[in-house]
Amino acid sequence: MFHTIIVAGNIGRDPEMRYTPSGVAVTSFSVASSRQYSNAQGQAVKETIWFRVSCWSKLAEYANTYLKKGNKVLIEGRLVPDTTTGGPRIWNRSDGTTSASYEINAVTIRSLATRSESEGTANNSSGFPEYSEPSIEEDDIPF
């Protein structure tokens, strides 16, 4: 079956890239997506969700190169569950408390930065790649 999650938000800290033992690049970063709304009592409420985003291979290398703390990004991907519970993974922190996070395996990443904001970081004029399926020439299409 299908699920997908699409998030627009701001990167919380500079991305970090590592390599798997087999040499595949993996980049991780957090994205905060906030909204304000008014509750039933008419009070303004600010809600922030944090997502932990991972991406792989070529997408990892570009994210590591071009995305920086504070950048506005759009992410599409899949939630990564705990394989035994089917829910979010639970972590034991060093202080004895437990926490959980929304982990996303990204399939698509787009920078929403504009030229003025990005100064050499990710935006469309700086060569940040827009992830897309391999293209095929129109002349190559048989219909």
Interaction pattern, residues 55-94, with a second copy; x per rule: CB under 8 A: -x---------------x-x-x-xx-x-x-xxxxxx----
Among 14, 58, 69, 100, which residue sits at the site for a second copy (rule: CB under 8 A)? 100
CB of 87 to a second copy, least distance (A): 5
What residue 123 binds from a second copy, DNA, none (CB within 5 to 8 A, per partner kind)?
DNA
124 burial type by CB count under 10 A (0-12 exposed, 13-18 middle, 19+ buried): middle
116: which DSSP letter? H
> How is residue 123 annotated by DSSP?
S
Q: Which of 50, 58, 105, 119 binds DNA (CB under 7 A)?
A: 50
Structure letter (DSSP) for residue 41: T
Question: Distance (Å, rounded) from C-alpha 14 to C-alpha 124?
Answer: 19
Q: What is the signed CA dihedral for 120, 131, 87, 25, rounded to 10 degrees?
A: -70
Q: How many chain residues bind DNA (CB under 7 A)?
A: 27
Biggest CA pair distance of the chain = 63
List the one residue from 24, 82, 114, 119 that touches DNA (CB under 7 A): 114
- Residues making contact with DNA (CB under 7 A): 1, 9-13, 30, 32, 34, 36, 48, 50, 52, 69-70, 72, 85-86, 101, 114-116, 118, 123-126
